[in-house]
Structure 1
Amino acid sequence: MLTAEQRAVLERSGLTPSRLSIAQIEQTAAQADTAQLTDEQLVEFLQICNALYRGGAPLISDYDYDFVFLQELRRRHPNHPYLETVEPEKAFAGKTVTLPEYMLSTEKTYSRDGIEKWLSRLEKAAEQCQVDFASLRFKATPKLDGFAAYDDGHVLYTRGDGRKGTDISRVFERGLIVAGNGKRGQGAGEIVVSRSYFDSHLAVYFENPRNFQASIIKEKDLEEHALAAIRNRAAVFYPFAVLPGWEGTAEKLREDFEAIVQEVPKMVDYDVDGLILEALDPVLKSFLGATRHHHRWQIAYKSNIETALVKVRRVTPQTSRSGRVNPVAELEPTRLSGALISRATAHHYGMVREMGIGEGTVIELTRSGMVIPKIERVVAPSLPQIPERCPRCGSELIWDGDYLFCPNTTKCPAQIENSIEHFFRTLANVDGFGLKTIEKLHAHGVNSVFAVYQLDLPQLQAMGFGEKTSQNLLSELQRSRNVAIEDWRFLGAFGIHRMGLGNCERLLQHYRLTGIFDLSRDDIVSIEGFAEKTAEAVVTSLTTIRQDFMQLYQLGFNLTSTPLLSEQRQNSSPIAGKVLVFTGTMLKGTRDDMIRDAKRLGAKVAGSVTGKTDFLVTGSEAGAAKINAAREKGVPILSEEEYLALIGADG
């Protein structure tokens, strides 16, 4: 059935189905059957599927879109206009603007034979334009499964219909960085999120990375977990021009094809659904040109997308740090895209209940490239397998919307272990305390982060850790207290509900760390960015963690205080209250160090140059786009040496 999110995407897209009912849309998607569709209904269904895919809430798989529905339209009407145009992105409202250059779709093939036909066409074209085909260079890069955009150095555009897009430069103002060399103005690329970061930080909020990538483009203020992903540089704009890849001749491409297909997608930690092959010779590219839909000198290879019908053995519940119980479908082992798959995540127990996922359920499982297996649809439902009690502590579970929660927040082993692991992972200055180590500690009665810091060498050895391992663990614990860390990161390590790292920093810009436990809901609501519900949750959570926090705080961590906004306004620093942008490689410290010091001196640090920027600070290999933007807007440009002299740190 169409989810509330899918309906919302269609509404934002301005797509109101007129030839298909909702029931027909759902049935067509579930059965992947075109036989009952008229030509007009087929086109409308394609438009709906495209809008949902680009809005982050796909209805069908890429394979079904390309090889069932699009192929059927091609069979019926080979020259249909829909086949000759770029599938439009309508999911984000806003004034459309002309793109600096066309952003076309890419011709696709799912077979080695398709690549051979493409190479043959290019060989004939090379003969016609008198280019030596044997010496031609080809490039293969990962086909990112993100949100397509174009950066001209001043504006970031959505792809739109390939000719006109929407200005989404706001994502750079929110701190989004450019992957690779960090320079703006490198043309077409995709907004993507690190696969590993998504799995560990965002999977509880979003069903898939595409869903998240669509969310960070929205005009409204971002939720904290989205801002945190940008701040942690897990979400980036990746220009195609700087993607890693393979390069060689057509002969080497044919010779090493299988190895290239296997290795190139692994070169990045982002969702990839195949690879892009392109000829590099400018004469040949100019000769071949493009259709209204795609460049003839380029092709996408997506044969590593596979679909299989798989039987569910059982649905296993797993309790998270927050107490949310997540369903994992245990499957009959099935090989997909070269990997043996035995598990797939069902997003929440509401999905399990509605779709009928349990022992014996037959699901359609898809895997694309390096992407984690996804339950595409339920083919044969069965009795949903929903737990009544927490799998770790036995507490009776409670429903909250589509989610099941364990209410035993203080004694549930899973919540304790995951909370301890979250603390050390958030501090990010300590090694050795992964989940396996923490599970072992907890099995020997270690129930809190404070208890971890009380351990000594005999205790660790008595738990089964070797002498060297025990000494390393104790050294890491000491290091975590000695190394300077921001107070907002320390606060964020406690996993306060609705308090990601950005909200922690925002709170500590108004109140000292040890004073936040006496704040009222109204105190927090008065801070920009905190709504009433968030404030209520924060006050409740602070009360819950107060004792644990004070115990750890008194251990003497080396905390760097966040400058209070009230003090920043009185700060005599020449950059107090100023908006700074840093670009390039700094010689006297990392850019992160300089940003941290600038904030300490009362400055605000932004990611892109705007009319509100006071100084652009440039290191070596500074981004030309930012320098040009500063010149156009009359923003003073300082070298690293000039900046250090300004703040009195040039010695």
Structure 2
Amino acid sequence: MLSATQLEILSKSLQSSPSAQPERLETIAKQTQASDLADEELLAFLQICNNLYRSGEPLISDNAYDSVFLAELEKRHPDHPYLHTVEAEKSFAGKTVTLPQRMLSTEKAYSKENIQKWLNNIEKAALELEIDPVTLLFRATPKLDGFAAYDDGKMLYTRGDGRKGTDITRVFERGMIVGGSGKRGLGAGEIVVNQTYFNAHLADTFENARNFQASVIKEKELEPHALEAIQNHAALFYPFSELPDWQGSSAELATDFEAIIAKVHTLVDYDVDGVVFEVTDDRIKHHLGATRHHHRWQIAYKSNAETAQVIVLKVTPQTSRSGRVNPVAELELTRLSGAMISRATAHHYGMVKEQGIGEGTLIELTRSGMVIPKIERVITPQPPQIPDHCPSCGSNLVWDGDYLYCLNTSQCPAQIENTIEHFFRTLANNDGFGGKTIEKLHANGVNSVYEVYQLTLEQLITMGFRSKDGKNQVAQNLLDQLRRSRTEAIEDWRFLGAFGIYRMGLGNCERLLQHHRLLDIFSLKIDDIILIEGFAEKTATAVVECLALIKGDFMKIYQLGFNLIQTSLITEQQEKTSQIAGKTLVFTGTMIHGKRDDMIKEAKRLGAKVGSAVTGKTDLLVTGADVGATKIAAARENGVLVISEEEYLTLLG
């Protein structure tokens, strides 16, 4: 069954063919061959699938799209325009502009044999140019699964249809950085989100990274989670030329193919859906050129994502730290991509309800390489399994949108244990307080972070924290780590973030403490917080409410005495006396007198705004050594004052 989000995307589409009807789409999506589809319906289905995929709500797997439906069109009409047209990315608000350089798709291969054919064509081209094929160097990089974009140093464009894209330079103005060397103007790349960060902070809200990436690009004011990811440098633009890679000869590629694929997949902590191979010799690139769809000197290898039809045994609810109850599908034991799979996330109970996931549901499960197993689609729905009570404490659950929540925050065991674990994990200056330890502590009556800090050696020994030889070292180690967590210096914003305040990730905690002292924040009103950049009314309201709820626990823990590094305040006096207060700065080049990150922090402390791209809103471009011509040209074009690092330091006095 199509999800509500997919149906909404379809309703906004201009397509009105019969194949766009949900029931017909579901029928076609289940097919393993497309020979019975009329040309018009086949083409419409491909366009719909591409639209849903680019919107972050794929209807079928990449493999099915390529090997079943696209292959059928190619078989019937090898010269069909759709096969030779760049598949358009989703449109975003902003002016449509011609790209500085065409952005093509990449030819795909699903077998080693296809890669070998491509290598043979490269060798043939080398011989035609009288180049010894043995001397050729090949490069392999991760195929990022993000949003394709092009950076010319002045503007960032979406790929669009390959010729025209949308101006989304606003993402740099919001603080997005460039991966690799950090330099602008390096051409094509992708907007991606760090996979570890996504799993830890965003997976409860977004079904996949592509959904989240779309939220980063949108024109309107960003939601806190999106702004947080940008400011934590978890969401960024990564130029293809800067990606870590494998390089070697065609002989090495043919001999160590599987090992190279496995290695390249692990080079970055972003979603990767294949490996891109290219020959590095510019003479051969020029000789081979490109089709209207792809460069002939480049190819993407995509592992066939294994799929299996599996019966759901039951749907198990799990309560998180926030009280959100998440569904986990317990499956018949199935081998996929070399691993035995028994569980898969159903994301949220809205999905369970809409798609009919319960005992006996037949689903299609996919997994490629090291990717987490995913429910690709529901084949045979059954009555959904929706819990009425929290699996941890038995309290009644309430709906909030697609999600179920347990509101028994103070007595729910799962919320208590997850809250304690979150505290110590966020402090990040201690060891030993993982899930198993905290579960054991809670089983022995420890219900809060404060109670953990009150434990004695004798209590821990009584709870069973001792080594196999009967010694008390395990208990003593835990006490040592508790002492370490209080004496080892940490930032006050990290300490605040450890309390898990709703809508207050570490970035928002730091911004709040740049304007107010830690102990003053509990007396703040909504209007006080709205004045801070990045805090909308909805967020400010939630923060004030949550601060009131945690004040008692916070003060008890704070009074235990932690070694907190105080965040520098952006005071009114600093804003009055600073020569850069209220101005927008951009730093470029290699700084001699300090790290660029430190200079950016100091500028913000003095009341300035810091961007990464020169625009008409920029007041000063501060230049270090090895400055590229692009930013200088942009400054001249926009009438921006350019000063050296030395002049900047003199300006600050």
TM-score of the pair, normalised by structure 1:
0.91
Task: Name the aligned partner's letter for residue 575 of structure 1.
Answer: I
Aligned partners of 1:584, 1:413: CA distance in 2, in Å? 52
Structure 1 counterpart of 2:495, which letter?
F
Structure 2 stretches lacking a partner, 5+ long:
none
Question: Quick check: 330-339 or 40-49, which moved more?
Answer: 330-339
| CA deviation string 1:80-110 (max 9, x = no partner) | 1101111112432432211111111111111
Deviation at 1:560?
1.6
- 2:608 is matched with 603
Query: Following TM superposition, by how much is the alpha carbon of 1:615 offset from its aligned partner in structure 2, in angstroms?
Result: 3.6
Q: Does 1:500 pair with 2:499?
A: no
What is the CA distance between 1:504 and its match in structure 2? Answer: 3.7
The 4+ residue runs of structure 1 with deviation greater than 6 A are none
Deviations 1:122-173 (A, max 9, x none): 2222222222112211111111111111111111111111111111111111
Say if 1:315 and 1:385, in contact at 8 Å, map to a contact too.
yes
Q: Aligned-pair distance for 1:268?
A: 1.1
| Counterpart-to-counterpart distance in 2, 1:439 and 1:627 | 57
* Alpha-carbon distance in 2 for matches of 1:560, 1:609: 32
Alpha-carbon contact 2:139-2:245 (below 8 Å) kept = yes
- Is 1:551 matched up with 2:556? yes
Given that 2:154 and 2:614 are in contact with CA atoms closer than 8 Å, whether structure 1 keeps it comes out as no
Aligned pairs (5 A) from 1:331-480: 331-463=331-463, 464=465, 473-480=478-485
The secondary structure found in structure 1 opposite 2:266 is helix
Query: Quick one: which amino acid aligns to residue 15 of structure 1?
Result: L
TM-aligned CA distance change 1:231 to 1:471, over 3 Å: farther
Identify the range of structure 1 (442-451 vs 190-199) with the bigger mean alpha-carbon deviation: 442-451
Aligned pair in 2 of structure 1 residues 248, 531: CA closer, same or farther (>3 Å)? closer
1:266-297 alpha-carbon deviations (Å, 9 max, x no partner): 11111111111111111111111110001111
Residue of structure 2 in register with 1:260 after alignment:
260
Query: Are the aligned partners of 1:55 and 1:91 in contact in 2 as well (CA < 8 Å)?
Result: no
Conserved 8 A contact 2:34-2:69: yes
1:244 deviation in Å?
1.4
Q: Distance in 2 between matches of 1:616 and 1:485?
A: 33
Please state how far the C-alpha of 1:525 moved relative to its aligned partner. Answer: 5.2
Counterpart residue number, 1:72: 72
- Find out whether 1:294 has 2:294 as its counterpart: yes
2:84 aligned partner: 84
Alignment of 1:503-518 (within 5 A): 503-508=508-513, 511-518=516-523
Kindly provide the amino acid, as one letter, of the partner of residue 494 in structure 1: F
- 1:177 counterpart SS class: coil
Give the distance between the partners of 1:266 and 1:257, measured in 2 at CA.
15
Q: Distance in 1 between matches of 2:596 and 2:482?
A: 27
**Which amino acid in the other structure matches residue 377 of structure 1?**
R
Counterpart CA distance in 1 for 2:114 and 2:212 is: 33
- 1:540 corresponds to which residue? 545
User: Partners of 1:620 and 1:431 in 2: how far apart?
Assistant: 42
Say which is worse superposed, 209-218 or 84-93, in terms of deviation: 84-93
2:320 maps to amino acid: S
- Measured against aligned partners, the alpha-carbon deviations of 1:400-448 in whole angstroms (never above 9, x if no partner) come to 2322211210011211121122223333444443333333333333322
CA 68–285 in structure 1, closer or farther in 2 if over 3 Å, else same: same
Residues 217-270 of structure 1: CA distance to partner in whole angstroms, max 9, x if unpaired? 111111111111111111121111111121111111111111112221111111
Shift of 1:208: 0.4
Aligned pairs for 1:112-261 (under 5 A) are 112-261=112-261
Distance 1:110 1:86, change over 3 A: same
Q: Which amino acid aligns with 2:316?
A: T
Contact 2:423–2:500 (Cα < 8 Å) also in 1: yes
d(CA) in 2 for partners of 1:142 and 1:213? Answer: 18
Q: Measure, in 2, the Cα distance between the counterparts of 1:195 and 1:245.
A: 19
Q: 5 Å matches for 1:499-648?
A: 499-508=504-513, 511-521=516-526, 523-524=528-529, 530-557=535-562, 558-561=564-567, 563-564=569-570, 566-570=572-576, 572-583=577-588, 590-618=595-623, 625-637=630-642, 640=645, 642-648=647-653
Q: Matched residue of 2:569: which SS?
A: coil
Q: Is contact 1:312-1:359 (8 Å) kept?
A: yes
Q: TM-score, normalised by structure 2?
A: 0.91
C-alpha deviation, 1:538, in angstroms: 2.8
Partner of 1:41: 41
> Any conservation in 1 of the 2:176–2:230 contact (CA below 8 Å)?
yes
Contact 1:304–1:369 (8 Å) recurs in 2: no
Partners of 1:646 and 1:51 in 2: CA distance? 52
Mark the CA change 1:531 to 1:599 in structure 2 (over 3 Å): closer, same or farther: closer
> Residues 363-408 of structure 1, C-alpha deviation per residue, up to 9 Å, x if partnerless?
1111234322210011223332333322222223222232221121
Residue type of the partner of 2:236? V
Q: Which whole-Å CA distance do the structure 2 matches of 1:532 and 1:484 have between them?
A: 33
Contact 2:570 2:606 (8 Å CA) reproduced: no
Q: How far did residue 302 of structure 1 move?
A: 0.9
Q: Is the Cα–Cα contact under 8 Å of residues 224 and 535 in structure 2 kept in the other structure?
A: no
Q: How does 1:282-321 map to 2 (within 5 A)?
A: 282-321=282-321
Amino acid at match of 2:600: I
Partners of 2:378 and 2:271 in 1: CA distance: 24
Contact 2:570 2:605 (C-alpha < 8 Å) held by counterparts: no
Q: 1:595 to 1:560 in 2, by over 3 A?
A: farther
CA-CA distance at 1:323 after TM superposition: 0.5
CA-atom RMSD, angstroms?
A: 2.7
Deviation at 1:618, TM superposition (A): 4.7
- The letter for the 2-side match of 1:232 is N
The CA distance in 2 between the partners of 1:446 and 1:641, in whole Å, is: 57
- Contact 1:304-1:337 at 8 Å conserved across structures: no
State the shift of 1:549 in Å.
1.5
Aligned-pair identity in percent equals: 68
Deviation string 1:546-599 (CA, Å, 9 cap, x unpaired) is 1012222333442424524644433x2333333333445556665444433333
Matched residue SS, 1:227: helix
Q: 1:526 to 1:390 in 2, by over 3 A?
A: same
SS of the aligned residue for 1:216 comes to helix
TM-aligned CA distance change 1:513 to 1:642, over 3 Å: same
Letter in 2 for 1:601: L
Aligned equivalents of 1:270, 1:238: Cα separation in 2 = 10
The answer as to whether partners of 1:131 and 1:284 remain within 8 angstroms in 2 is no
- Which residue in 2 is equivalent to 1:17? 16
Q: Secondary structure at the match of 1:398?
A: strand
Cα 1:489/1:567, change in 2 over 3 Å: farther
C-alpha contact 1:19 1:40 (8 A) present in aligned 2: no
The residue type equivalent to 1:563 in the other structure is: L
Q: Tell me which amino acid in the other structure corresponds to 1:77.
A: H
1:15–1:48 contact (8 Å) kept in structure 2:
no
